[in-house]
Structure 1
Amino acid sequence: MTKKTQQTEKVWFVTGASKGLGADLIQRLLSEGYQVAATSRKRQALIDLVGEQENFLPLTMDVTSNEDVKRTIQEVIDWFGHIDVVVNNAGYSQIGAVEELAAEEVQKNFDVNVFGPLNVIRNVAPYLREQRSGHIINIASIGGFVGDFPGFGIYCSTKFAMAGYTEALAVEMAPFGIHTTLVYPGYFRTNFLEKDSAMVPANPIEAYANAREVEAQHLNQINGNQPNDPKKAATVFIELSKQERPPVHFFMGVGASEFVKTKVGIIEKALTDNLELAESTGIEA
């Protein structure tokens, strides 16, 4: 590939861009004239989505391979000259009670949802530090703040992990002029809960009626009836990238704030109800 020399717009690097929030985002970015590098497991899926455009670089990338991620990011730098906004969107939902999921199912979900974004961050950070600017947007889930969904414990734990390292990343990157935002989307009407995107347990345990009930609710009732529009989410991402001081934590979507307020209330009550016992461990003078 030859190097593209003249850059007049921010360069966005979006993973998992062939469907879901990523697909709507890259379509909106391209319509507004941004330079876009997008990745998917299948490059052709990206071309089928938006066609071939001068300011669009579709790439095949395996987020679970550090070497493949490193190669891909170098290809983007060689093509566009720089990267300004990184969106770690690649991920999937592994459904299943904690006990019933095999180690391989759990490991795969962590490989994609946790270690995949880390591979991207590890390899893009040197370029962002050198140019002393940039914005890393990590897409978690409301399940990265609230985990009490039977059958979604492993998936939520991957997003809790992302939340943990993103908080640290934000303060690590700040001295270099790099912004970091952790987005917790609520329910958006994408294909996230479709059969080819949400994985069910290979060996379900009949006793977990509550997990099966929540699983069925998500796959059969919530799917297709989510209250939020992914096209409007694309607008939100662009607006966040324009902010002078974007937030580290951003809860996105109708209904997300209710989950947050409920969780905060539970934590505050737990602290208050058990404060005397919790602080009984202090060393007396």
Structure 2
Amino acid sequence: MNIMIVGGTSGIGLALARYYLQRGDRVAVCGRDLQRLPADLHDAVGAVTFQFDIADRAAVAQAMDDFAVQGLDILIVTAGIYFNTRSHLLDEATSLRMLQTNVSGLNHAFELAATKMLKQKSGQLVAISSIAGLLHDYPGASVYSATKRSVLSLCDTYRMALKPFSIAVTAIVPGYVDTAKLRALNEGDASHKPFIMSEQKAVGLIADAIAGRKDRLVFPWQMKWLVGVLNLLPRWVLRVRK
């Protein structure tokens, strides 16, 4: 299969790239900085690399045109920006950057891929959201949470529009996954995060959901349950928790 992963130079995106390459697929590994990509991935059989910012629609379109000459079976968008307003002030530039990456970038990547898949009458769009997107209120990261709710909404909209044409749309909603990025955000150790899951196990669950063309995957189940409980609490309780 021909699979494009936007945000494939680190974290879950990189792990998924490795998974599909080991399976023998042709994979476009895309990111803003290809220097972050491990050396072995550059030379891996089946790997094609593209450097662009998902916020740059023209650059995304060019890369997709170049890669999809042989067709585009799956587009996976893992690119996203997280900014913790509990420790930093969310300024105008950062707010705009988060919107451009997490929301509008995803939208035009989906739109460009959908255009190609409609011609094929087949394909699958996949986006990585976050468990934060299921929270009605997320003190300290409310803008991030809102952008991830938008990811889920975009997936629902594209799914409804494309389902009659044999194109699936899958929303992945992970809790804490023990990636290098998460560890970096937590001074090198994220083991204290609730119900944290290994990267390998997360990739297995995600790959199975994609293969099964599921509408949505939320994991782990404990986090899904916890979010449900938090959403029932009054907002002032969440503010106190913050």
TM-score (norm 1): 0.74
Q: Which residue of 1 aligns with 2:164?
A: 175
Shift of 1:100: 4.0
Higher-Rg structure is 1
Q: Which runs of no fewer than 5 residues in structure 1 stay unpaired?
A: 1-9, 199-218, 268-285
Query: Which whole-Å CA distance do the structure 2 matches of 1:223 and 1:150 have between them?
Result: 20
Tell me, yes or no, if structure 1 residue 165 matches structure 2 residue 154: yes
Tell me, yes or no, if structure 1 residue 63 matches structure 2 residue 54: yes
Q: Which residue of 1 aligns with 2:209?
A: 240
Q: Number of residue pairs matched?
A: 232
1:122-142 deviation per Cα after TM superposition (whole angstroms, max 9, x unaligned): 211111111111111110000
Shift of 1:85: 1.1
Shift of 1:151: 1.1
CA contact (8 A) 1:188 1:228 kept: yes
Instruction: State which of 130, 134, 137 in structure 2 corresponds to 1:145.
Output: 134
CA contact (8 A) 1:186 1:254 kept: no
Shift of 1:193: 3.2
Q: Which residue of 1 aligns with 2:29?
A: 38
CA contact (8 A) 1:146 1:259 kept: no
1:22-171 aligned at under 5 Å gives the runs 22-46=13-37, 48=39, 50-78=41-69, 81-96=70-85, 100-171=89-160
Aligned-residue sequence identity (percent) comes to: 20
Query: Which whole-Å CA distance do the structure 2 matches of 1:131 and 1:166 have between them?
Result: 20
Q: Which residue of 2 aligns with 1:258?
A: 225
1:126-168 deviation per Cα after TM superposition (whole angstroms, max 9, x unaligned): 1111111111111000001114332111111110111112111
Secondary structure at the counterpart of residue 30 of structure 2: strand
Query: Which whole-Å CA distance do the structure 2 matches of 1:140 and 1:109 have between them?
Result: 13
Secondary structure at the counterpart of residue 62 of structure 1: coil
Q: Which residue of 2 aligns with 1:19?
A: 10
Q: Which runs of no fewer than 5 residues in structure 2 stay unpaired?
A: 235-242
Stretch of structure 1 that moved more, 252-261 or 102-111: 252-261
Query: Which whole-Å CA distance do the structure 1 matches of 2:15 and 2:52 have between them?
Result: 19
The root-mean-square deviation of aligned C-alpha atoms, in Å, is 2.4
Query: Which whole-Å CA distance do the structure 2 matches of 1:261 and 1:165 have between them?
Result: 21
Query: Which whole-Å CA distance do the structure 2 matches of 1:188 and 1:254 have between them?
Result: 13
